[in-house]
């Protein structure tokens, strides 16, 4: 008799499927109602940052150029108050084989799969990570299946997602393309179970350990070149792995005082799983539709415990608009001769504004770039947006309305960041943690964990939890 492939049956088997596909029993790390031993889980990857870098070099990953953006720095200084305008550097991750920093996390995951005898690797992603996994699998001779959410119910796909699917196929991967909806995780689980492939998830310890080399390189390279660590590193924030891995790498290199600033494109009002909204957003990553949910509850991922924990490491979180990113993409090309894709330029859009707050002798690093291609280019994205009824205009980007209007700045002095208070994210996280705990009482271990996981003071956590619990008790039944 065959396996029961009903949705309910597959979901009931998900923990067993994941243990087989990742090789980690996440239950052994549980220490409380919500708490788990995060650092023990990270040690489960079994690779130091030096070992990870050596593994990455085997497949030509890492050691990417660190470029000083002299022309953009001069522009920021021309707009800044006297004495302000930090030097802006950029880590050019487009130099990796698949064209993005995600080659770092894929390199370690695929190496681990090969080392432990898996016949292939599988990942559920619509982004650069799929291309990275496919590229690394090709180098190591492993099978590869990438599962993408590509289409709305009309069968229409966003050009950037279609481009990334093309890249996966170019590297020899089988690409399973789906419409937006709940079937992605179900299809992923069935595929893992049927193939016996390794789950090259974005959210395993292997994946995050792979990104640590990026932060480590930035710190060590600047120390060698400038005799100091960066004052701030700006990181495009989506699922949290980029923030987490980069921050951990900075700390391991000794840059413990470097501020980590997360940046997302503001897509407020658009629902990522909505058939209507799916093609009304002009960014497939680095936006609030991922950045906020994953910060407020990381364990919504495809593994039981997510190794990406952004609130542990964020010092500040800011938002930019779609139009600002498109504007800065063209600005980078015309001022610095670098044509790069939108993900890294999300951080660069913020960096130009942030540099104007900082002193002239300080250093700000934009931590990654990505390759660009036909579907990623701003003109493809804007043409697609217009076809979906979105107004494209020039003016003040404050007039941007996600899903309705994209406003491209007319001048560089219109670039600005919008603060998103970390306390709001922390409160939402704690509310989700209480829901996860249910009726189980929180212990001192839980409170210590919650303080670490939110990057907050334990006394504040206790007060906020008591306040949130009181609000729940006061609700009508």
Q: How many CB atoms lie within 10 A of CB 227?
A: 7
In Å, the largest CA–CA distance within the chain is 76
Would you state the pLDDT for residue 473? 57
Helix (H, G, I), strand (E, B) or coil at 146: strand
Domains 7-50+100-204 and 59-98+206-419 share a fold: yes
- Give, for 151, the enclosing helix (H) or strand (E): strand 143-151
List Cα–Cα distances, 156 to 53, 267, 278, 383, 405, in angstroms.
Answer: 40, 20, 10, 14, 20
Please report the DSSP string for 300-367 in residue order. GSSSSS-S--GGGT-SEEEEE-HHHHHHHHHHHHHHHS----HHHHHHHHHHHHHHTTSBTT-EEEE-
Cα angle: 401, vertex 402, 407; to 5 degrees: 55
Residues recorded for the chain: 477
Would you state the pLDDT for residue 2? 76
Please report the DSSP string for 407-438 in residue order. EE-SSGGG---EE--HHHHHHHHHHHHHHHHT
| Cα 208 to Cα 206: distance, rounded to the nearest angstrom | 6
Q: Does domain 7-50+100-204 have CATH number 3.40.1010.20?
A: no
Of the candidates 128, 302, 311, the residue with the CA atom closest to the CA atom of residue 199: 302
Residues whose CB falls within 8 Å of the CB of residue 4, separated by 6 or more in sequence, listed in order: 10
Q: Where are the domains of the chain?
A: 7-50+100-204, 59-98+206-419, 423-474
> How far is CA 431 from its chain centroid?
23
Per-residue model confidence as pLDDT tens digits over 111-122:
999 999 999 999
| Cα 76 to Cα 413: distance, rounded to the nearest angstrom | 9
Under 8 Å between Cβ of 27 and 62: no
Cα angle: 218, vertex 224, 226; to 5 degrees: 90
| Cα 20 to Cα 30: distance, rounded to the nearest angstrom | 19
Q: How many CB atoms lie within 10 A of CB 425?
A: 21
Residues whose CB falls within 8 Å of the CB of residue 349, separated by 6 or more in sequence, listed in order: 263, 320, 324, 325, 327, 328, 415
| Cα 326 to Cα 378: distance, rounded to the nearest angstrom | 6
Per-residue model confidence as pLDDT tens digits over 279-332:
888 888 899 999 999 999 999 988 999 999 999 999 999 999 999 999 999 999
In the chain (477 residues long), the average pLDDT of successive 10-residue segments reads 86 90 93 97 93 98 98 98 98 97 97 97 91 97 96 90 92 94 89 96 95 98 98 97 98 98 95 86 88 96 94 98 96 97 93 98 97 87 93 96 96 98 98 95 97 97 94 58
Would you state the pLDDT for residue 283? 84
Burial class (CB in 10 A: 0-12, 13-18, 19+), 3: exposed
| Cα 272 to Cα 425: distance, rounded to the nearest angstrom | 18
List Cα–Cα distances, 158 to 162, 261, 263, in angstroms.
Answer: 6, 29, 22
Would you state the pLDDT for residue 477? 45
SS (H, E, C) 167-189: HHHHCCCEEEEEECCCHHHHHHH
CATH class of 59-98+206-419: alpha beta
Please report the DSSP string for 8-69 in residue order. HHHHHTHHHHHHHHH---GGGGB-SSS-B-HHHHHHTT---HHHHHHHHHHTT-S---EEE-
């Amino acid at each position: 008799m065959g396996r029961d492939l009903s949705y309910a049956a597959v979901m009931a088997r998900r923990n067993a499927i994941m243990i087989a596909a990742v090789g980690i029993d996440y239950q052994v790390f549980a220490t409380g109602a919500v708490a788990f031993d995060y650092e023990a889980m990270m040690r489960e990857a079994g690779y130091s940052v030096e070992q990870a870098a050596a593994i990455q070099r085997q497949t030509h990953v890492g050691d990417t150029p660190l470029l000083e953006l002299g022309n953009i720095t001069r522009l920021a200084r021309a707009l800044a108050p006297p004495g302000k305008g930090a030097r802006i550097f950029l880590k050019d991750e487009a130099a990796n084989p698949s064209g993005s920093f995600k080659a770092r996390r894929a390199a370690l995951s695929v190496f681990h799969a090969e080392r432990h005898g898996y016949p292939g690797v599988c990942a559920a992603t619509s982004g650069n990570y799929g291309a990275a996994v496919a590229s690394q699998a090709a180098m190591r001779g492993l099978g590869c299946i990438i599962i993408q959410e590509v289409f709305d119910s009309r069968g229409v796909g966003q050009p950037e997602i279609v481009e990334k699917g093309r890249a996966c196929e170019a590297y020899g991967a089988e690409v399973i393309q789906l419409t937006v909806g709940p079937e992605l995780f179900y299809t992923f689980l069935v595929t893992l179970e049927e193939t016996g492939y390794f789950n090259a998830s974005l959210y395993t310890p292997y994946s995050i350990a792979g990104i640590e080399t990026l932060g480590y390189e930035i710190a060590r390279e600047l120390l060698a070149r400038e005799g100091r660590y960066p004052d701030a590193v700006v990181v495009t924030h989506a699922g949290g792995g980029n923030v987490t891995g980069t921050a951990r790498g900075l700390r391991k290199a000794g840059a413990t005082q470097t501020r980590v600033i997360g940046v997302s494109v503001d897509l407020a009002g658009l629902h990522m799983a909505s058939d209507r909204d799916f093609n009304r957003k002009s960014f497939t990553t680095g936006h609030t539709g991922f950045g906020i949910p994953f910060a407020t509850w990381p364990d919504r991922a495809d593994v039981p415990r997510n190794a990406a924990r952004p609130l542990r490491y964020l010092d500040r979180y800011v938002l930019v608009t779609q139009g600002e990113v498109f504007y800065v993409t063209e600005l980078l090309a015309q001022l610095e001769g670098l044509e790069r894709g939108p993900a890294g330029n999300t951080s660069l859009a913020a960096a130009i504004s942030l540099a104007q707050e900082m002193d002239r002798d300080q250093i700000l690093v934009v931590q990654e770039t990505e390759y660009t291609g036909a579907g990623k280019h701003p003109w493809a994205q804007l043409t697609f947006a217009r076809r979906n009824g979105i107004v494209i205009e020039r003016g003040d980007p404050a007039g941007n309305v996600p899903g309705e209007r994209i406003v491209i700045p007319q001048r560089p002095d219109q670039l600005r960041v919008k603060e998103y208070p970390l306390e709001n994210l922390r409160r939402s996280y704690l509310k989700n943690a209480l829901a996860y705990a249910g009726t189980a009482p929180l212990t001192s271990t839980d409170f210590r964990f919650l303080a670490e996981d939110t990057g907050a003071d334990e006394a504040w956590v206790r007060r906020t939890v008591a306040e949130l619990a009181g609000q729940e008790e006061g609700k009508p039944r």
